[in-house]
Amino acid sequence: MTARIYIPRDAAALALGADRVARALTAEIAARGLDVTIVRNGSRGMHWLEPLVEVETAGGRIAYGPVKPSHIAGLIDAGLLEGGGHPLCLGRTEDIPFLKNQTRLTFARCGVIDPVSLEDYRAHGGLKGLETAIAMPPADVVKQVTDSGLRGRGGAGFPTGIKWKTVLDAQAPQKYIVCNADEGDSGTFADRMIMEGDPFVLIEGMAIAGLATGATKGYVYTRSEYPHAIAVMSEAVEVARAAGVLGPSVLGSGKAFDIDIRAGAGAYVCGEETALLNSLEGKRGVVRAKPPLPALQGFLGRPTVVNNVISLASVPIIMDKGADYYRDFGMGRSRGTIPIQIAGNVRHGGLYETAFGLTLGEIVDDIGGGTASGRPVRAVQVGGPLGAYFPRALFDTPFDYEAFAAKDGLIGHAGITVFDDTVDMLKQARFAMEFCAVESCGKCTPCRIGSTRGVETADNIARGIEPEKNRELLADLCNTMKFGSLCALGGFTPYPVMSAMTHFPEDFSPAPVAEAAE
Ligand SMILES: Cc1cc2nc3c(=O)[nH]c(=O)nc-3n(C[C@H](O)[C@H](O)[C@H](O)COP(=O)(O)O)c2cc1C
Ligand code: SF4
């Protein structure tokens, strides 16, 4: 019987040597004349175990990791092809606690299937949501999405169904679905993992969005730094087109929908939806004033749904299992599941999909296993570079949009970055201002000028120059940026700056330069 071995083609696994492992295995198989099929799957999201090699057995998949090319011969000697024992053997993949304790709705197939096999996708429940949507009037599809409680996973948490309804109700000769796959937040990788591990779920979600709103054309806008995601998505779109999932008659419905993949040059601001639309139109990535909303005048001035990858990839399961099934997970107004991306100085970094409601402490200490350095956790930044820093004292905050807002924080794209007790929070505050200065599109003054003045002020505090006056000035600048900026780049930079100052004031009172020199 042919043995089936899985080695991820996900960028994180590749960075850790997955291609070298696959080549070593291929050579060893040939040398020994073994009958083995190697499947290049997506990642299971347990990054500290990558490259994770899995073998299919009658009792389920058995995992080994992290595997190096030098391990291959020994692994085969130990009976890898039958799931045999070896120091790298982790047992059944599904039983690894990090994976077992998750609720995988959006990522159910990621790491399980061959990403570019439509057959495999169908065999694991794919396309059922699209089939259900085709059988329904568009307004009912939109209602299902609204009733599911799904909110935008790109950062703002806006209800997806309400956005879709605006586009459905708009009258226009052409409408568009734009998938925001720019994923600029540092420490986030959920969008990339879906595109590399289960691209058909995104294609299916976009097709459902198209049928629901009357849009016939979709674009996936991602960044040139994601070459592997672009390659997998492009191949999957070709496969879907050839199989009639995309094209003039989606699954024989008589309704058209097709997708193009576009790569931007990787400016953070091009993740902001209106700058993204400008970039997609071939213009400079500068933020547009709102109104008009993109839902009414978006790409080329036409009604456009702009949704994050995870928002769109969550729609197929909602349509397949129903709105109630999805909304039964979660807490308060945060319904369903959220793929949390755990990064930074952490022992168990990776992707953890779970219902909303776990506390930050549970995520960092229990799931993440504390710091990789073994030192105490001091701060956690939640929500990317524009997110607030949380001290241990706030670790009881549940992962929920409103609970985080109540603590002057945000969930954003659900990336969390862990820092140990060697972190200098004044430097982190300076970094936030510097990041904003570098990435600012330059359209409005509070962001363009304020961020540069912010860097100078943080430097003055660090030098011990009139610290009290400069702390007040920094807070004043944050206030101006928060309320005077046109978009959330300038408007949210105050979150990391002010949270650092509020929760870690001791780092903002360095000794004056003269004193320090003594
Ligand atoms: C500076 C900035 C960068 C952003 N980057 C992203 C991004 O990389 N991906 C994303 O989905 N949304 C990003 N957003 C949010 C988008 O503007 C928009 O809210 C989102 O794409 C809407 O989709 P959703 O409702 O599905 O979240 C960014 C916003 C700002 C202000
Ligand atoms: S806040 Fe910054 S990025 Fe946003 S529009 Fe103003 S200058 Fe551009």
Q: What is the pLDDT of residues 244-265, one digit of tens each?
A: 999 999 999 999 999 999 999 9
Rounded to 5 degrees, φ, ψ at 405 are -60, -35
Cis, bond preceding 303 (omega within 30 deg of 0): no
Which amino acid, one-letter code, is at 180?
A: N
C-alpha dihedral, 283 to 284 to 289 to 292, nearest 10°: 20
In this model, does residue 514 exceed pLDDT 90? no
Find the mean pLDDT for residues 20-24: 98
Element (H, E) at 444: none
**pLDDT band at residue 266, thresholds of 50, 70 and 90?**
confident
In this model, does residue 513 exceed pLDDT 70? no
In this model, does residue 518 exceed pLDDT 60? no
**pTM for the structure as a whole:** 0.97
Using the mean position of ligand 1's atoms as its centre, give its distance from the Cα of residue 424 in Å. 29
Using the mean position of ligand 2's atoms as its centre, give its distance from the Cα of residue 235 in Å. 35
DSSP assignments along 152-204, one per residue: -TTTT--BHHHHHHHHHHS--S--EEEEEE---STT--HHHHHHHH-HHHHHH
Cβ neighbors of 416 (< 8 A, separation 6 or more) are: 187, 340, 341, 342, 343, 344, 360, 363, 364, 380, 381, 382
Rounded to 5 degrees, φ, ψ at 340 are -85, 130
In this model, does residue 422 exceed pLDDT 80? yes
Neighbouring CB atoms inside 10 A of 321's CB total 17
CA distance 385 to 271: 13
Q: Which atom of ligand 1 is nearest to the CA of 183?
A: 8
Using the mean position of ligand 2's atoms as its centre, give its distance from the Cα of residue 6 in Å. 44
Element (H, E) at 210: helix 199-213
Q: Using a 6 Å CB cutoff, which residues line ligand 2?
A: 269, 287, 440-444, 447-448, 485-487, 489-490
Which amino acid, one-letter code, is at 23?
A: R
Out of 279, 480, 487, give the residue to mutate to test ligand 2, the one with the largest number of ligand atoms within 8 Å of its CB.
Answer: 487
DSSP three-state, residue 234: helix
Find the mean pLDDT for residues 99-126: 98
Which amino acid, one-letter code, is at 358?
A: L
Using the mean position of ligand 2's atoms as its centre, give its distance from the Cα of residue 509 in Å. 30
**pLDDT band at residue 516, thresholds of 50, 70 and 90?**
very low
- pLDDT value of residue 510: 76
Q: Which atom of ligand 2 is nearest to the CA of 436?
A: 2
Q: What is the pLDDT of residues 155-201, one digit of tens each?
A: 999 999 999 999 999 999 999 999 999 999 999 999 999 999 999 99
Using the mean position of ligand 1's atoms as its centre, give its distance from the Cα of residue 271 in Å. 5
Under 8 Å between Cβ of 116 and 42: no
